[in-house]
Chains A and B, each alone.
Chain A
Amino acid sequence: MEMPTPDAAIVSRKARIVRRLLQVLPEDAVIHEPHETRAYECDALTAYKCPPLAAVLPASTDEVAAVLRVCHEEGIPVVPRGSGTSLAGGALPTADCVILGVARLNEVIETNYDDRYIRVQTGRTNLSVTGAVEEDGWFYAPDPSSQLACAIAGNIGMNSGGAHCLKYGVTTNNLLGVTMVLMDGTVTEIGGAHLDAAGYDLLGVICGSEGQLGVVTEATLRILPKPEGARPVLIGFDSNEVAGQCVSDIIKAGVLPVAIEFMDRPCIRATEAFAGAGYPDCEALLIVEVEGSDAEIDNQLGLIGQIARGHDPVELRESGSAEESARIWLGRKSAFGAMGQINDYICLDGTIPVSELPKVLGKIRELSQGYGLDVANVFHAGDGNMHPLILFDANRPGDLDKAEALGAEILRLCVEVGGCLTGEHGVGVEKRDLMEAQFAPEDLEAQLRVKDVFDPAWLLNPAKVFPLSVTASRRVAAE
């Protein structure tokens, strides 16, 4: 993976740049000593590392604006950073950049149950947004696996999803308004507590723009009353095809579960060895969760059971209690941890049309054998968002390259069958060079034009999302 050559002129001006940053921020908010900047050298894509020139931790929108004005005047690239949990390298620095971390922006500004929203500073973690309202019976719906640590800023940057988005949508469907600072320090207010913002849908294009259009410092988020209850059913099958057909039939029957999770045999075996959730040793396993009152849940689980039985499952286990629910979810929730115990892994995030599931799983198995690397599959089946985990040994020379090549082939396959490279993690640097597999040059050009408008100098997170060759002329012209 290639990154642009750091601008030597910027690096040589480090002392002056740090001095200017210290004029607009308190001393403890500017991190510039080499042993300290290393803390920001990577995010959760740990294969790539590079300490930034400096990192700043502003504590208000005004401070963010002041920092951006300095960086704009100095022509320094800025890489915004939430909590650094990106699996795609969205917050990976370059040696000539300033990391702008939002961790100190973590307050709840307003909670309004009559109008069903919460206004927060965006350094607040996803789970602590729900934490601020759950005692009153409310929650914030998007629930990425990293929700304990990940920041709302990062959720907005990557348009994060989670297990429950089949029913509740992803971040973009739950975002009502933002305060966003442009690269030149201009503070903008977009949307608000009303349901549809005026003018063009700028919120829609900001959400998922990976920190390339502006720095979002505050967000108004839709909150929802908690359902009366939720319970899953676990269904095991002899084949991936049949499991895929069962998913399709459940959806066609008019049930809209909050989650339909799918695990394949390699994943089931690994999680059993790790967590001992008592899963059957079968080819494919579904966990389907529904919500409502006890009677409503019984009804829906009854209907799902009826559909599943038509497909001759090897196991069908309806949860009747909180304990049983926890047991059913135990294996799924420890899947990534279980994989981490066995091996290093790359977690892919391609989405495919649900109907292509059996074909794609078959093809992944062939590819996996061809490369001699195991692949375990655990994913959100209701919306086709796959998470193939490619297992490799980071200490074995050449293994990472091989794993990345296999990953690229799997993602190309996702695109070929009508899907996309990333469903909820974002492009970052990880999938940057595959963008041309999904988009024609004019499709990419249309996206670049949007960045031209928001960030004409191409200073915000400039080396991400698009292949470097595609953005080269813009990055050079802007210098």
Chain B
Amino acid sequence: MIRPESEADLAEAVRAATGALHLRGGGTRAAGPVAGEVLETTGLTGITLYEPGALTLVARAGTPLSEIEEALTAENQRLAFEPMDHRALLGTEGTPTIGGAVAVNASGPRRVVAGACRDSLIGVRFVDGSGTIIKNGGRVMKNVTGYDLVKLLAGSHGTLGVLSEVSFKVLPGVEATTTLTLEGLDVATATKAMAAAMGSPFEVSAAAHLPGDTPKTHLRVEGFAASVAYRAGRLRDLLTPYGDIVMDEGPGPWADIRDARALADAPGDVWRVSVKPSDGARVAAALPDARLVLDWAGGLVWAAVKPGTDLRAALEDIPGHATLLRAALETHARLGRFAPEPAPLAAIADGLRAKFDPRGILNPGLMTQSTS
């Protein structure tokens, strides 16, 4: 295993590599069938800049997420995008890192109002496949100087470069959180209730539905205490037609929803499906035997299905895409982690990989797909 302790060492290690590199942060996500020598970023740690008054934080890619969250909490601030912890769902160990969150664009329940990880990310430094150190973006939150490679790197799973440093716009913390819960709704009704809440001016910061014997639909309101009380009250009135509403103050079930914890002990493969929110109900109808968690008002569906199921085939008619997260290597190899892309986009993706990783050594094959 290679574990560089500086950006210069990282660049040198990539330059010196003679074969494939299997890149990882804290190793909390099983990268699937990726061959090659492990190159880990956990030696690149530390917050290099934090200015609470400017809502800006910069950290080296291998910095544990917990260290970042601690520093932010001390100033009553937070990452807007609630990066998930994959360990329970994937049965892995290790320590989640900030660079890992960026590499997969990990985005939790607040995605519906605050955007994804890529929306909070304002700068990157990375080493491309030839070992060159490249910077893009910076530490200011409005920046249109040149192309936005910051977003291109977010969610590129290490295949365009190894992140060495990442910069974020952070958000103020909240004084109060209230969760409203409806019980017993079917998925179709639940997505309607969530759409009504999201379409209100009461700034719902998360909307999720957990089907099951006692289905639960959760909505979150955050902010200053008086404002939360007011908005939660207005929301309850708005949602009265959907049934009785229980209101709870405090953090609520959101960390579990973020981590799709309800599926941690579910047998079978786990998929992550991205659709327009109202289509969450169509996904549920197409997968009658699956165990599901619906986040993002229905737009993100976590599905545990029978091993080896080709979920993409089952959802063929629904626009969006499905990613295979947890399955046997054979299934990964057969179905591919990521959805096949239309030919012109696959050609662009191939072109980008060839430019940024001309030797094809960065997590080779991980994002390469046959075209649809």
A and B interact: yes
Q: What residues make up the interface of A, taking CB atoms closer than 8 Å to B? A: 112-117, 137, 158-159, 161, 165, 169-170, 172-173, 182, 186-190, 192-196, 198-205, 207-209, 225-228, 247-249, 251-256, 292-293, 295-296, 299-300, 351-355, 380, 383-385, 418-427, 431, 435, 438-440, 442-444, 446-447, 449-454, 465-466
Cβ of B338 within 8 Å of any chain A Cβ, yes or no, is yes
Closest CB-CB distance, A479 to chain B, in whole Å? 21
Q: CB distance B195 to A453 under 8 Å? A: no
- Comparing B23-31, B91-99, B347-355, the segment that makes contact with chain A is B347-355
Q: CB distance A254 to B144 under 8 Å? A: no
Bitwise interface map of B from 6 to 29 toward A, beta carbon under 8 Å scored 1, else 0 = 000000000000000000000000
Q: CB distance B148 to A172 under 8 Å? A: yes
Contact of B140 among A159, A419, A450 (CB under 8 A): A419
Name 4 extra pairs, CB < 8 A, besides A194-B319, A418-B139, A442-B133: A196-B155, A198-B341, A204-B152, A447-B136
Contact of B276 among A115, A228, A295, A420 (CB under 8 A): A115
Q: What residues make up the interface of B, taking CB atoms closer than 8 Å to A? A: 51-56, 75-76, 105, 107, 111-112, 115-116, 118-119, 128, 132-136, 138-152, 154-156, 160, 171-175, 192, 195, 198-201, 224, 226-227, 230, 274-279, 296, 299-300, 319-321, 338-339, 341-342, 344-345, 348-349, 351-352, 355-356, 367
Q: CB distance A418 to B151 under 8 Å? A: no
Closest CB-CB distance, A250 to chain B, in whole Å? 9
Closest A residue to B224 using CB positions: A299
Q: CB distance A198 to B142 under 8 Å? A: no
Q: CB distance A248 to B142 under 8 Å? A: no
Contact of B148 among A187, A199, A204, A453 (CB under 8 A): A204
State whether A353 and B139 are in contact (beta carbons under 8 Å apart), knowing that A114-B277, A194-B299 are contacts in the complex. yes
Q: CB distance B147 to A423 under 8 Å? A: no
State whether A292 and B53 are in contact (beta carbons under 8 Å apart), knowing that A115-B278, A353-B140 are contacts in the complex. no
Q: How far is the CA of A194 from the CA of B298 in the complex (A)?
A: 10
Q: CB distance A201 to B155 under 8 Å? A: yes
Q: CB distance A204 to B145 under 8 Å? A: no
Q: CB distance A256 to B224 under 8 Å? A: no
Q: CB distance A443 to B226 under 8 Å? A: no
Contact of A186 among B139, B344, B352 (CB under 8 A): B344
Question: Which residues of the other chain, B, contact A194 by a CB distance below 8 angstroms?
Answer: 274-276, 279, 299, 319-321
Q: CB distance B147 to A450 under 8 Å? A: yes
Closest A residue to B141 using CB positions: A383
Question: Which residues of the other chain, B, contact A117 by a CB distance below 8 angstroms?
Answer: 276
Question: Which residues of the other chain, B, contact A204 by a CB distance below 8 angstroms?
Answer: 118, 148, 150-152, 154
Question: Which residues of the other chain, A, contact B139 by a CB distance below 8 angstroms?
Answer: 353, 418
Q: CB distance A195 to B142 under 8 Å? A: no
Question: Which residues of the other chain, B, contact A443 by a CB distance below 8 angstroms?
Answer: 134-136, 146
List of 3 A-B pairs having minimum Cβ-Cβ separation, nearest first: A204-B151, A248-B53, A453-B351
Q: How far is the CA of A296 from the CA of B223 in the complex (A)?
A: 10
State whether A198 and B348 are in contact (beta carbons under 8 Å apart), knowing that A423-B144, A447-B147 are contacts in the complex. no
